[in-house]
Structure 1
Amino acid sequence: MLNLDNEVSMDPVTALTAATTAFNVIKKGFQIGRDVESMAGDLGRWAGALSTIREAEKEAKKPPPLFKKLLLKDNFQQQAIEIFAAKKKADQMEEELRNFISFHYGPSAWQGIVTTTARLRKEQQEAIAAQKKARKQFLENLGIAIAIVGLIGLCVGIAILMWPAVSAKMGL
């Protein structure tokens, strides 16, 4: 899926598949006695996929751009159903994982995961915002530079065209 900022992200179905795969690995790991720390990578992949599903849900609530309305008009119902199903499945997995972690490690363990996830998400959003700001500033500076070079080129072009007339008048 390509968004308006030219960043590639997973569609909800792919994200759900990734979340389900990671969830099954996590579940199996807990069943064989692995601890949360040893499954941090799997938990990260699962949380990332859930984040993608939630972002898709947020994006679906926004009115689509005109070009999407025109080109993908029949696809909205299918996309809405896919996002809804992915969100429900993600909620179910999250509830099951929350119950398991809270039962085995105490409620504070899940709260710690939620707090850390929120902090990391905020840091990521800030980094993305800074990157977008830098990109915008670069494009603005590039536009100004192109305009200046164009103006200089125009002035030089006018001077070259006018040189014969000016030199003839001045007797050069």
Structure 2
Amino acid sequence: MKVSESDQAGNPMKISAVEEYGLRCLLQLARSKENQLLSAEDIAEKEGLSVAYIEKILAQLRKVGLVSSVRGMYGGYQLTRSPDKITVGELVKAVDGDFFTDICQHFSGNQNACVHSSACSVRPVWLMVARHVYRILDHLTLADLLNEESNMEQQLFSDFPLPLQMAR
């Protein structure tokens, strides 16, 4: 996730393409039978993306230990752990890092660092938002995402305090 000045809806966060398609690749692998390898070509076809782009994403996912690969004619990719052991938060942190750690540098204006760093009343707000976002993402597994949308929504909101339930 990246902090942006504003998207069309006025939201301060955007999901990067690597996060979106990385998650989609992981879900394709999670849907496959245990020990079944999927090729980059198979995933690219199912997702409507180029093989080269999928290979780039899969290489990054392999580098951070979320997927493993087997070379050769019958090779392909598979998850390194079961879908119930891989969280969306893990993916986000692995591919883009913690986007809230550099928020002060991102919005420092013409300075190298934020001029308000010694007495900032805004940074705690973003840190609180980060805690809640990661609390949700660290709770949400690939197995959860494979459930029907209504079941997933019920599970997500039932585990969190009232203010998050009201966000529905």
Fold match, TM over 0.5? no
Instruction: Say which structure is richer in helix.
Output: 1
Using structure 1 for the length normalisation, give the TM-score. Answer: 0.30
Instruction: Say which structure is richer in strand.
Output: 2
Q: From the CA coordinates, give the structure whose radius of gyration is larger.
A: 1
Using structure 2 for the length normalisation, give the TM-score. Answer: 0.31
